Amino acid sequence: MTMKKAFLFSLVLLVTLTGCRTTEQGAVNGAYFGSALGSVIGSILGGSNGHNIGSVVGVVAGGATGAAIGHRNERSASRRGSTTLKYQPQEHTTVGNLAPQNNYAATLPTENHALVIAHRGEWKSQGSAQNSRASLQRAMALDIWGTEIDVWITQDNHVMVNHDASYSGITIENATYQECKRLQLANGEKMPELSDLLKLMKRDKGNTRLVLEVKSHKDVQRSAACAVAAVQAVKKAKLQERTVYISFSLEACVAIHKADPQAEVAYLNGDRSPMSLQKLGLTGIDYNIKALRQHPEWVEEAHNLGMNVNVWTVDNEQEWMEMDRLGVDFITTNEPARCELFLGGQK
């Protein structure tokens, strides 16, 4: 009888845990059925003492196993585009000639949407910060196409991750690694080095790409030095396949191409045609929305040359729709989760 019970509880435990959709649900169900199973097995092996010990062991082991299974299920649901995520339309404002509508997504084509890149990572949620470890990890958890960061090189040739040239009174390109690594971000983290973020990417099992912006330093030699150091760090981490490069500095773009001729490199400054950039070995344009409105023909020109088109920084529905219809390949946004839901998934 007890053996039958043990078998029955094992079966119930297995079926229940497999169906758990969240970490919490898995932990609770795991602890409950684990306790029951443990007490039965404990009784078989050691009478009433065994019953009690088995119950305790079952709570701990079942709870941990359930939490792990629930977490895995939660994460894979998120990767598939979880049904628990619901798109909430934001307040509409009229932009250009586009009148406000209630449901833009319904008017979009059903496939070949632009892919989403999180601008400076997913930094708007609580506990995150621009260009932080948290922002990278949260962007990867969204399972979007890419997450962008900005990098500077220090005097002693460390590649630091930050948007502005200076932070808390320290100008990164004039400072040392020791000075920069002490700087505290808005979420309490210390300023990351590029290699810190590459390590986090290596641990992630998804395929979110790093969109690595080499900032324009005071002179072009330092921009180029930063570009080469960034490429070396990416190569060392063996993350070439998951990294694309962007820069306002044409010299940095060319330096990246020379350091890794296979790398995808896009120019940010909005003032050059795709053809002129391809002659330098670049593979894409990554332009402000105003530049693409001025030169919408550059989208087709880029595509005809086998180059891709990214647009920045687009944070509202009208402009997501406008750029998606224009045919851009990527949209860089401060609202990655909303944009992903709005565009309705992957290409």
Binding positions for Mg ion, rule: CB under 5 A? 150, 213
Instruction: Report how far residue 306's alpha carbon sits from residue 145's, in angstroms, rounded to the nearest whole number.
Output: 19
Instruction: Report how far residue 306's alpha carbon sits from residue 278's, in angstroms, rounded to the nearest whole number.
Output: 9
* 185: number of Cβ within 10 Å: 22
Nearer to Mg ion, 87 or 248 (CB): 248
Nearer to Mg ion, 39 or 128 (CB): 128
Instruction: Report how far residue 142's alpha carbon sits from residue 333's, in angstroms, rounded to the nearest whole number.
Output: 14
Instruction: Report how far residue 214's alpha carbon sits from residue 161's, in angstroms, rounded to the nearest whole number.
Output: 10
Instruction: Tell which residue, 133, 191, 192, has the closest CA to residue 167.
Output: 191
Nearer to Mg ion, 22 or 269 (CB): 269
Nearer to Mg ion, 23 or 249 (CB): 249
Q: Long-range contacts made by residues 190-194, C-beta under 8 angstroms, separation at least 24?
A: 191/160, 191/161, 191/162, 191/167, 192/131, 192/132, 192/133, 192/160, 192/161, 193/158, 193/159, 193/160, 193/161, 194/149, 194/151, 194/159, 194/160, 194/161, 194/230, 194/233
Nearer to Mg ion, 13 or 160 (CB): 160
Beta carbon of residue 262, minimum distance to Mg ion (angstroms, whole number): 23
Nearer to Mg ion, 189 or 213 (CB): 213
Distances (CA, A) of 268 to 141, 177, 246, 273: 27, 27, 7, 11
Beta carbon of residue 123, minimum distance to Mg ion (angstroms, whole number): 12
Amino acid at 170: I
Beta carbon of residue 221, minimum distance to Mg ion (angstroms, whole number): 21
* 107: number of Cβ within 10 Å: 9
Beta carbon of residue 312, minimum distance to Mg ion (angstroms, whole number): 8
Beta carbon of residue 119, minimum distance to Mg ion (angstroms, whole number): 7
Nearer to Mg ion, 9 or 152 (CB): 152
Beta carbon of residue 22, minimum distance to Mg ion (angstroms, whole number): 34
Q: What is the DSSP letter of 99?
A: P
Nearer to Mg ion, 150 or 189 (CB): 150
Beta carbon of residue 287, minimum distance to Mg ion (angstroms, whole number): 13
Contact (Cβ atoms closer than 8 angstroms) between residue 251 and residue 224 = yes
Beta carbon of residue 150, minimum distance to Mg ion (angstroms, whole number): 4
- Nearest residue to Mg ion by CB is 213
Tokens of 56: 């305790």
